[in-house]
Amino acid sequence: MHSMSRRVVITGLGLITPLGVGVKQTWSRLIAGDSGIISTLNQPDKAFETVPTKVAGFVKDGLGGIEKGEWTPSEWVSKNDERRMGRYSCFAMSVVEQALRDAEFVADTDALKQRTGVCLGSGIGNLDDTFESALSFDKFGYKKVSPLMVPKLLLNMAAGYISIKYGFQGPVHSVTTACTTGLHAIGDASRFIQFGDADVMVAGGSEACISPFSLAGFARAKSVATEFNDNPAAASRPFDIARNGFVMGEGAGAVVLEELQHALDRGAKIYGEVVGYGLSGDAHHITAPPPRGDGILLSMKSAIRQAGIRPADIDYINAHATSTSQGDAAENLAIRRLMLEGVDDQVAGEYNGFKKLEASEINISSTKGAIGHLLGAAGAVETIFTVLAMRDGILPPTANLENIDPSPDFTCNYVPLKAQKRDIAYALSNSSGFGGTNATICLARDVSL
Ligand SMILES: *C1O[C@H](CO)[C@@H](O)[C@H](O)[C@H]1NC(C)=O
Ligand SMILES: *[C@@H]1O[C@H](CO)[C@@H](O)[C@H](O)[C@H]1NC(C)=O
Ligand SMILES: *[C@@H]1O[C@H](CO)[C@@H](O)[C@H](O)[C@H]1NC(C)=O
């Protein structure tokens, strides 16, 4: 069915989101329609008050650990490592450990270690540490600059810590493509396996940069929601007429990817197969998409072509839709163009046949309504949601979608407010980022042997 000879399957998942630490906690709350968005005004840092957006998706700190869905650093890293690594790398260590446990994979021989790699990135990294270091240098000079400043700054450091902890000696790689990071990491890692550079890859993205400083930057760029400061849970509302910007969130996602035969040989549980991956650039503007969504359309088309399926076979699309009017509209149009007009050679009827769909048959949702935008982690977290949607036969809801944008293009099924049952054999997950970069991954639930 697909052209590549080495096939890649997903055998482990790990998640940290504003809905909780752990896959179970996050997924059950997402399906129940809960929100992880809260006010920034209860944070210890009073500078949050000075920024026009006062809502964000924080991961819940606490002593309860993964059992209670709380972030308890000592469950995952030593005190010393916590201090050295910074929050985003600690999140990464946790989701990778979760995913490896879930996969029941241990690289316990030199041969296995050499065939296992890491591909994990961040969009922004430890911005707060950089900010504090700059203040310290300015006020107190050279002696007050921490020797940990540079390693904390580097966006590939989480991948490095992971390879050291587990002894992984295959590719150790980091992607940083703004909000496409997590999806590019998973897509690129699957190519490493296809190409024979590794048999097993842990892959994903991590982000933990919510601070008054970063929110100020996004607010100045007019990217974040400012109209819902007194109702935080309503602030992130993809496809809704009242949407007015994204809500910044933090968290991480990692998957274990494995060459199919390798997974079968060790009797691993298989969640699904990566059957297509497409990447494209908008070549348009650093923060705005082209209005008709040409970039994302290209990436979706490549993913579908590679998978050897038709748009009509796609039962579910997890949209990138961040709750900005421009971005949601461009992506919506791209999805319609893909699903209704098809991939070029399919329209001509030469490729697997072409089935005419009605817009109302297109099933799209954006899980950002519940967790906000996790920037560099978004693509990884949303790929995992897409895997779980296929596993459970359920379309996760778009939270806060009370009044769908009335413009004539918004006539798909956006799964408003409540999850919907639906058998999902194939799904797409989209991501795009500042700089005009886009990616799509195509997943299949059933692995044909
Ligand atoms: C997301 O996927 C859909 C469905 O394949 C596609 O039409 C759309 O262009 C994609 N959007 C992005 C931003 O990649
Ligand atoms: C591609 O990435 C840009 C970058 O921000 C994004 O806004 C845009 O929606 C994506 N392209 C399309 C066609 O969706
Ligand atoms: C979307 O879901 C509806 C109802 O669950 C289903 O009838 C339809 O076939 C789905 N669309 C696609 C393209 O699979």
Tens-level pLDDT at each residue, the chain (449 residues): 444 589 999 999 999 999 999 999 999 999 999 999 999 999 999 999 999 999 999 999 999 999 999 999 999 999 999 999 999 999 999 999 999 999 999 999 999 999 999 999 999 999 999 999 999 999 999 999 999 888 898 999 999 999 999 999 999 999 998 889 999 999 999 999 999 999 999 999 999 999 999 999 999 999 999 999 999 999 999 999 999 999 999 999 999 999 999 999 999 999 999 999 988 776 766 666 666 777 778 888 888 888 888 888 899 999 988 898 888 898 898 888 888 877 765 544 444 556 778 899 999 999 999 999 999 999 999 999 999 999 999 999 999 999 999 999 999 999 999 999 999 999 988 776 666 677 888 999 999 88
Q: What number of other Cβ atoms are within 10 A of residue 188's Cβ?
A: 21
Q: Which amino acid is at 181?
A: T
Q: Which ligand is nearest to the CA of 280?
A: 2
Q: Which residues contact 325 (CB under 8 A, 6 or more apart)?
A: 243, 244, 405
382 lines ligand 2 (CB under 6 A): no
Alpha-carbon span 443 to 271, nearest angstrom: 10
Q: Ligand 1, from 294, 300, 328: best to mutate by most atoms within 8 Å of Cβ?
A: 300
Instruction: Give CA angle at 381 (375, 385), nearest 5°.
Output: 140
Q: Give the residue whose CA is nearest to atom 3 of ligand 2.
A: 436
How far is residue 198's CA from residue 95's CA, in Å, rounded to a whole number?
20
Distance, CA 192 to ligand 2 centroid (Å)? Answer: 25
Neighbouring residues of 358: CB distance < 8 A, sequence distance ≥ 6: none
**CA-to-CA distance for 18 and 57, rounded, in angstroms?**
5
The tokens describing 45, both together, are: 């840092």
The number of the ligand 2 atom at minimal distance from the alpha carbon of 432 is 2
Ligand 1, atom 8, lies closest to the CA of: 335
Of 134, 136, 262, 137, nearest to 198 by C-alpha is 262
Instruction: Identify the residue whose tokens are 């241990």.
Output: 106
